[in-house]
Structure 1
């Protein structure tokens, strides 16, 4: 089976996303995606990856990924890694379709039929414009006096108690918030004032006051902090018993993370920006990972994510895949977490699931009462909508 066409599709309603669709000489198609820097990824795919794909007679994912390994760009989630991951997602989709089996079965069979998920509290326009992690990219509503039921970021900043009640009413048992990010931006992560600390703590306090222990709180810190200020934050929020604090420091600051762990006894989730087995291994070996939040796309694709899951399991670390990078990644992550013994929980964004995901694709995993089920159909189950051009897209096609 040979790849004969490589197509990229960039939707206007999410300018940070690029879909990658591969077509085989047997008429099968596979869908992948990459998030952040889509034009750079698109250029890499058509200029560098496509000629290699066309030169190969075997479209097996592992075989192709070996051929696509870059000489430079492999130590981070650069355009090469993200582009290769998008191709890998599409190749696994083709493999599933060629065998008539869903990915979870190809991974050895699901070990569970459903899994708990938590809502990451971004809004409908979260991360839609810039390729940076900053409040300028939060997509907050222009008129905060007219709250939207899905503007969860605005809600956790200004109405955290009500948001928690709404999520509990929908069946969610976990929510992720990032109430300290703006303070990090103000000091470049070096310091947090007493007022800033109190403001962030109040968000957690309001949630606990509204719903008690009915919902787990995950506190995201996006790796924006340096150790002294991060230590103050963790000590300040300890009484509210968050399920975890996520990326309190950059994941490559291993020595500092060890010292942070020694200073504060709090579960740490880490890994969405860690790349591959070699990115995770030193974190796991240092004993600073309580939950592995691998991003199936940013880490290099399905093949690499499966190896990370096994590596995490060897260190008795549960798997909690990241999702804020598109519907294909969510579907593939759901298959992964369903099929791994250490699969613990899957992140979702209800704002995405109810707005731009279904505007672009079909087959997205559905959340019912805070629970995800195994996606149906062969491959990962997600397909571009036939009318996707109606929302505005830019396409590029390269043929063998």
Structure 2
């Protein structure tokens, strides 16, 4: 089991069996890649010498046998291992992972393109460009720093940005607005009301997941679908959110929330409450391939995030590390479910090793309000 820290901010895992089959996973928590790599190395003590096909058994032991369990580091390490074990098993049998999960319910899934950046700028022009490239949905960050109570001009700036995007792309293009957990309860109420006229596809993380119960009535009454879940790591984390009646779309990350094995269960739990799934994935090609295998079998999967051209991808981009970039060819705003064995992609191992020599030490920015206090990024 070998990990590779790769630009721009990713971590790949290579697992090789004694029969020479290689499986790939993407166990990473953005900004904590080295910590996740250390967790993978610790978990490897149990796995070496085991049958890689006993995925459910290994998941159970790696989750439960450490006594302390859950959280971003542990679950991201487990996620990447899980992805690689599914990749190995599919390759050993010569079938895509989705066939092992019961067969696909769809041939392709809608994707969206990121526009703007951490501080949204030129969003209208970028949205128009994304539509011209065939995307039928885009996502943008909404506010920048917001205090518990903030000025009206901050609200008007968000409204102006969203209005410009809607005007640029017309009424039929989906627009997701990510509050990124930057907004506290008082301002979340104000912003949700102000953005209602733009008929958004969804608002993401209107507040941090831990504050959802405090604003539950506001979210339930929102005319805009509410999405969240990228900072939840297991079916137990999602349980209260799913049963609350607050969230319309959950966004588990297959590189953070225990991999294919766990997110399949999270998606099924959400389906029982008529909640949609839109996997979070601002990451690399292995993570996206794992997401698409899940999208193939989850009836309630509605749209897939992908990182091509995202503002974090400065030194390398989504397609750089795979041998055949056409596997993620976007057509009419959708991507086909990969049909190759395992995860359905071939990793360019020589290039992975070359770029791993540079590695990365990515950290998210630390923001502050004008009074010097910490601001949510």
The whole-number CA distance in structure 1 between the counterparts of 2:209 and 2:275 is 16
Unaligned runs of 5+ in 2: 360-377
- Cα 1:23–1:390 change in 2 (3 A) is closer
Structure 1 gap ranges (5+): 1-5, 122-151, 396-400
Once structures 1 and 2 are overlaid, which stretch shifts more, 48-57 or 366-375?
A: 48-57
Look up the match of 1:147: none
- Counterpart in the other structure of 1:359: 320
**What SS does the corresponding residue of 2:38 show, helix, strand or coil?**
helix
Q: Which runs of 4+ in 1 moved over 6 A?
A: none
TM-score, normalised on structure 2?
0.87
In the alignment, the residues of structure 1 paired with residue 68 and residue 319 of structure 2 have an alpha-carbon distance, to the nearest angstrom, of: 33
Q: Which moved more, 1:303-312 or 1:254-263?
A: 254-263
Give yes or no for contact 1:183–1:192 (8 Å, CA) kept in 2. Answer: no
Question: Residues of 1 paired with 2:45 and 2:106: CA distance?
Answer: 40
2:347 match: 384
Aligned counterpart in structure 1 of residue 94 of structure 2, from 97, 100, 110? 100
Equivalence for 2:288? 330
Question: Which residue does 1:308 correspond to in 2?
Answer: 266
Q: Shift in Å at residue 25 of structure 1?
A: 1.1
Does 2:68 match 1:68? no
> 2:5 — aligned with what?
10
- 1:342 Cα deviation after fit: 1.2
1:183 corresponds to which of 138, 145, 150:
145
Q: Number of aligned pairs?
A: 350
Structure 2: distance between partners of 1:273 and 1:321: 12
Q: Does 1:345 align with 2:303?
A: yes
1:123-202 pair list within 5 angstroms? 152-153=116-117, 157-180=120-143, 182-184=144-146, 187=147, 190-202=148-160
Give the root-mean-square deviation of aligned CA atoms.
2.1
CA distance in 1, matches of 2:215, 2:17: 46
**Distance change (3 Å), C-alpha of 1:25 and 1:183:** same
The separation in 2 between residues aligned to 1:92 and 1:257, in whole angstroms, is: 39
Q: Deviations over 1:297-341 (max 9, x none)?
A: 111111000001111110111111111122111111111112221
Q: CA distance change for structure 1 residues 17 and 73 in 2, over 3 Å: closer, same or farther?
A: farther
Tell me what 1:278 maps to. Answer: 236
Q: 2:369 aligns to what?
A: none
Q: TM-score, normalised by structure 1?
A: 0.82
Contact 2:4 2:356 in 1 (8 A): no
